[in-house]
Amino acid sequence: DGKELIHTSGVITNAIDTNGAGDMFAGAFLYALGCGKNYSWAADFANAAAARVVSQFGPRIKVIEYISLKQQFNIQH
């Protein structure tokens, strides 16, 4: 709505390959919104997802990482 400014913290990680970070952030953010989460929650989830993708080689995370991320954020979908 353009009326609220949301601040969120980044996730400290050891970046190995930044390929795919933006795509991962965008996809995770939109996924969270599609699950009914608010913007702040979606940004935290997207930051965590992007941090995971840059901590390895390649632009996507492994299925086990995806499952772990969903468990960390208690996503049931």
**What is the average pLDDT score of the chain?**
92
> pLDDT-derived band of residue 4, with 50, 70 and 90 as boundaries?
confident
- What share of the chain in percent tops pLDDT 90? 70
Mean pLDDT over residues 44-70, rounded? 93
Count of all residues that appear for the chain in the document: 77
Looking at residue 36, what is its pLDDT? 92
Predicted model pTM: 0.88
Looking at residue 1, what is its pLDDT? 66
Question: Which residues 6+ apart lie within 8 Å of 52 measured at CB?
Answer: 13, 24, 61, 65, 69
Cα–Cα distances in Å, from 4 out to 25, 34, 40, 60?
Answer: 20, 20, 11, 31
